[in-house]
A and B are shown apart, each in its own frame.
Chain A
Amino acid sequence: MKLNGAQILVDCLKSEGVKHIFGYPGGAVLHIYDALNACTVIDHILVRHEQGAVHAADGYARVSGKCGVSLVTSGPGLTNAVTGIATAYSDSIPMVVISGQVPSAVIGSDAFQEVDAVGITRSCVKHNFLVKSADDIAETVKKAFYIATTGRPGPVLIDITKDATIAEVEYEGYPEAIEMRSYQPEVKVSAEQIAKAISIIETSKKPIIYSGGGSVIGNASQALRKLTRNTGFPITQTLMGLGAYPATDKQSLGMLGMHGTYESNNAMHDSDCIIAVGARFDDRITGNLEKFCPYAKIIHIDIDPSSVGKVVGVDVSIIGQVNEVLNALILGLEAKKLPNIDAWWKQINDWRLVDSMAYKTKQGVIKPQTVIETLYEVTNGDAIVTSDVGQHQMWAAQYYPFDKPRRWINSGGLGTMGFGLPAAMGAKLADPDLDVACVTGDGSIQMMLQELSTMLQYHTPVKIININNGYLGMVRQWQEFFYDKRYSMSYMDALPDFVKLAESYGHIGIRVEKEEDLKPALIEAFKQKDRTVFIDIVTDPTENVFPMIPSGAGHHEMLLAGRDDMASTNDSGLNLV
């Protein structure tokens, strides 16, 4: 059958089972858009900015577990997409991004809307391809999806020249399988390493499970629950891992790291056996490496060998799919006598009494923590929550206990402001039956506001919870603590009227200024099943995120709200930020 390259591409996407594409047309992809127009099984979401397209595809992928797909034009279309691609790369999200490229005959001539897409994205993709011939499209698409979704997932870019989309060639159908001698993501779990891990676990007195984003991406939630329950060990989860193990369970110590709980961080510090599950010892987790987990033997489970030993030396590494490794570990531990850790739990329960998440309410002021707690109450803890980046992100992670995986959607690795709104749109398309809340702030929301328009066009009703404190709050917090309250450029004068703004986009806007109005407003908002509601909530502008491990400190040196003086970080500590 003779088809042009664009038609082949669309047929490949169809064969791959793609249902949604987030994109924006332009000169280099007009043939592709023409072919898409004739396709009835793929819904294309026309965003208002390419960064929004990639974030939406990302949110879609995180919620559905499928590969997100995005389509952009050459030049600025691609460069706008780069932040989204880097965001997905940081959090290992499966994604295929297709970009148009100028005709192959003029590549390198500084043609109109030409950039070296493969060069620009090289360091923020798992892999990328430049396709200059229609003959290569089918195989490349097959490879791209295979690479994006297997092993440690990640974004893959396919840059296609315009002439390749126009040329008519013989098309033999989408390949069923692909062999790549240079890429073999299947790993057999080493029985020897499992045995080594078990011998450490058996003799431990203060074990802890430290689970990360890999448990979510690797769909290992069930196995993680089983391991944790079978062993009776405490578990702490990273920002990216929240939900893989139910936060409301008694064995859960909450999040760890810079803004983690007192019990999590102290347990990490005192532990003699850390079982790291799909976690990569990010600097927000470890704090000062010299003070990190001084007594622990570390077992590291990861799909990516390069994650092992990158930051922290480990005693046993087990490479493989998190799910498979956990099941092997569960099986291996069944025949073993597990250590008695009553004394360890007593210690942990003493730390819990510190109640590190307590915060002081103030008459006449809405505390941001209260907003999240109310959101949790109103949604029965069962919403998908996306967030932007900053203080509100930490509060959402701290005060909305997630009991299920793929419900907490945030840019943990790259920390991309503007992620939350388009990700919420993608999340709603992935799971239309669930309530979707986008927790954001007055700074972040203004980075991707234009997507409110897309959300109207495609009927993706989400509830935007704007923690409006008039500041770039996390920047302000750091300036308060570490720069003698010199608030350089962290205050935004002239915020828009968010209610009118939402209304102008065809949505509902609600402003909340008094605490007694908070819950009724949220109840009212979530009653509006078919509408996007922007709830602009005026919160305490001076509130800070606690607990906190200040820069340069160890897990046992946390600062607690209202109990510690913050002005004690030295310059060498700031370098570690």
Chain B
Amino acid sequence: MRHIISVQLENASGALSRVAGLFSARGFNIESLTVATTNDPTLSRMTIVSVGDDNIIEQIVKQLNKLIDVVKVTDLTATEHIERELLLVKLAVNNDSQSKVESQLDLYDAKIIDASEEVYTVELAGKSQKINDFINAFNADEVLEVSRTGVTGVCQK
């Protein structure tokens, strides 16, 4: 099962490598990882999406807690939470496809942030599934380049 694990850790050099190293050394799966400092500049928040059965997720949480730099680990999936991911995508447009593309953008509430005659650069934030659906709404030759941030999330309470 897919889990979103939120990790608060010391904003210290090497902290990211400790987490990434833990996943590779113990053979844990990592689907995405985002990290940035929080409102407290001495703390970073890392959001990791991993897939595994309950035992594996339990081990991931325990092993993360064991890292000295880690302050708090929360399995967001186990609580009410909000998750979001940001997509930047370059879409090919031409006279024939323009109206179809734009109607898709409207449907998903995606925003054109840069446009040339042949290429729209579009941003969309949402759950990962919504972003998958959005990308799949276009033909393969229309999608020129995809960049996703990976999931970030917070507890609702």
Q: Which of A119, A182, A183 contacts B17 (CB 8 A)?
A: A119
Measured between beta carbons, the chain B residues less than 8 angstroms from A200 are none
Looking at A126, A180, A305, A306, which has the most chain B CB atoms within 10 Å of its CB? A306
Is the pair B14, A183 in contact by a Cβ cutoff of 8 Å? no
> Is B58's CB under 8 angstroms from A127's CB?
no
Contact A182 B18 (CB under 8 A): no
Complex contacts, A304 vs chain B, CB 8 Å? 66
Q: Does B59 contact A (CB under 8 A)?
A: yes
Interface membership of A248, Cβ < 8 A: no
Evaluate contact between B14 and A181: CB separation under 8 angstroms. Answer: no
Q: Residues 48-76 of chain B: 1 if any A CB is under 8 Å from the residue's CB, otherwise 0?
A: 00000001001100110110111100000
CA A123 to CA B25, docked complex, whole Å = 7
Q: Which of B10, B14, B58 contacts A309 (CB 8 A)?
A: B58
Within 8 Å CB of B62, what residues of A? 305-306, 308
B69 & A182 in contact (Cβ 8 Å cutoff)? yes
Residues of A within 8 A of B71 (CB): 181-182
Closest to A128 in B: B14
**Could you tell me the distance between the alpha carbons of A306 and B17 in the complex, rounded to whole angstroms?**
20
Q: Hey, which chain A residues are within 8 Å of B14, CB to CB?
A: 118, 122, 130
Question: How many Å lie between the Cα of A147 and that of B66 in the bound state?
Answer: 11
What are the residues of chain B within 8 A of A313 when measuring CB–CB? 55
Does A459 touch B at the CB level, under 8 Å? Answer: no
Q: Do residues B17 and A122 form an inter-chain contact, with CB atoms below 8 A?
A: yes
- Whole-angstrom distance between the alpha carbons of A246 and B17 in the complex? 44
A306 and B10 in contact, given A126-B68, A182-B69 (Cβ under 8 angstroms)? no
Contact B55–A306 (Cβ < 8 Å):
no
- A19 adjacent to chain B (CB < 8 Å): no
Which of A122, A147, A183, A306 has a CB less than 8 Å from the CB of B18? A122
Question: A127 with B17: in contact, given A306-B63, A309-B55, A310-B59 (CB under 8 Å)?
Answer: no
Tell me, in angstroms, the Cα distance from A182 to B42 when the chains sit together: 12
Question: Across the interface, do B66 and A306 meet the contact criterion of CB distance under 8 Å?
Answer: yes
Restricting to A181-229, which residues have a CB under 8 Å from any CB of B? 181-183
For window 1-46 of chain B, which residues contact chain A by CB distance below 8 Å?
A: 9-10, 13-14, 17-18, 21, 25
**Chain A residues with CB under 8 A of B13:** 130
Interface size on A, residues (CB 8 A): 19
CA distance A306 to B55 in the complex (A): 11
Q: Give bound CA distance, A183 to B65, whole Å.
A: 9
Query: How many Å from the CB of A228 to the closest CB on chain B?
Result: 29
Bound state CA distance, A118 and B69, in angstroms?
Answer: 14
Contact of B21 with A123 in the complex, beta carbons under 8 Å: yes
Q: Which residue of A lies closest to B21 (CB)?
A: A122
Task: For A126, list chain B residues within 8 Å (CB).
Answer: 68
Q: In the complex, what residue of chain B is closest to A183 when comparing beta carbons?
A: B68
Chain B nearest CB, measured from A367 CB (Å): 42
- Docked Cα-Cα span, A122 to B18, in Å, equals 7
Contact A309 B59 (CB under 8 A): yes
B152 to chain A, nearest CB (A): 21
A residues within 8 A CB of B25?
Answer: 123
- Chain B residues with CB under 8 Å of A309's CB are 55, 58-59
CA distance A30 to B2 in the complex (A): 52
Most buried by A among B9, B18, B55, B68: B68
Task: Determine the distance from Cα of A310 to Cα of B63 in the docked complex, in whole angstroms.
Answer: 10
CA distance A466 to B19 in the complex (A): 43
Contacts of B18 in A (CB 8 A): 122
A74 → B minimal CB distance (Å): 17
CB-CB under 8 A from B10, the residues of chain A are 182
What's the nearest-Cβ distance from chain A to residue B27, in Å? 12
Instruction: List, in ascending order, chain B residues with CB within 8 A of A308's CB.
Output: 62
Residues of A within 8 A of B55 (CB): 309, 313
CA distance A306 to B21 in the complex (A): 17
Docked-complex contact A127 and B68, CB < 8 angstroms: yes
- Using known A-B contacts A123-B25, A309-B55, A309-B58, determine if residue A182 contacts B66 with beta carbons closer than 8 Å: no
Is there an interface contact between B70 and A182, defined as CB atoms closer than 8 Å?
yes
The contact string, 1 if C-beta is below 8 Å from chain B, for chain A 280-310, is: 0000000000000000000000001110111
CA distance A366 to B51 in the complex (A): 56
- In Å, the complex CA distance between A180 and B42 comes to 13
B63 partner residues in chain A, CB cutoff 8 A: 306
A182 and B18 alpha carbons, distance in the complex (Å) = 14
Residue of A nearest to B18 (CB): A122
Q: How far is the CA of A195 from the CA of B9 in the complex (A)?
A: 35
Q: Nearest chain-A residue to B64 (Cβ)? A: A306
CA distance A181 to B10 in the complex (A): 9
Bound complex: CA A180 to CA B69 (Å):
9
Q: How far is the CA of A127 from the CA of B52 in the complex (A)?
A: 26
Q: Verify B68–A182 contact, CB threshold 8 A.
A: yes
Per the 8 Å Cβ criterion, residues 102-142 of A in contact with B are 118-119, 122-123, 126-127, 130
Contact A306 B59 (CB under 8 A): yes
CB distance from B97 to the nearest CB of A (A): 48
Rounded to whole Å, the gap between the CB of A6 and the closest CB of chain B is 23
Bound complex: CA of A127 vs CA of B14, how far in Å?
Answer: 11
Q: B21–A182 contact, CB under 8 A? A: no
Contact with A along B106-130 (1 / 0, CB 8 A): 0000000000000000000000000
| Bound CA–CA A147/B69 (angstroms) | 11
Q: Which residues of B contact A181 (CB under 8 A)?
A: 71
Docked Cα-Cα span, A308 to B66, in Å, equals: 13
Q: In the assembly, what is the distance between CA of A308 and CA of B9, in Å? A: 23
Complex Cα distance, B13 from A182, in Å, reads 15
CB contact list, B61-102 vs A, under 8 A: 62-63, 65-66, 68-71
Query: Considering the chains assembled together, what is the distance between the CA atoms of A181 and B17 in angstroms?
Result: 20
**Complex Cα–Cα for A538 and B56 (A):** 49
A181 CA / B13 CA spacing, docked (Å): 17
Assembly CA distance A119 to B71 (angstroms): 21
Q: List 28 A-B contacts (CB under 8 A).
A: A118-B14, A122-B14, A122-B17, A122-B18, A122-B21, A123-B25, A127-B68, A127-B69, A130-B13, A130-B14, A147-B68, A180-B68, A181-B71, A182-B9, A182-B70, A182-B71, A304-B66, A305-B62, A305-B65, A306-B59, A306-B62, A306-B63, A306-B65, A306-B66, A308-B62, A309-B55, A309-B59, A310-B59
Q: Which 5 A-B pairs have the closest CB atoms?
A: A306-B62, A127-B68, A182-B71, A123-B25, A183-B68
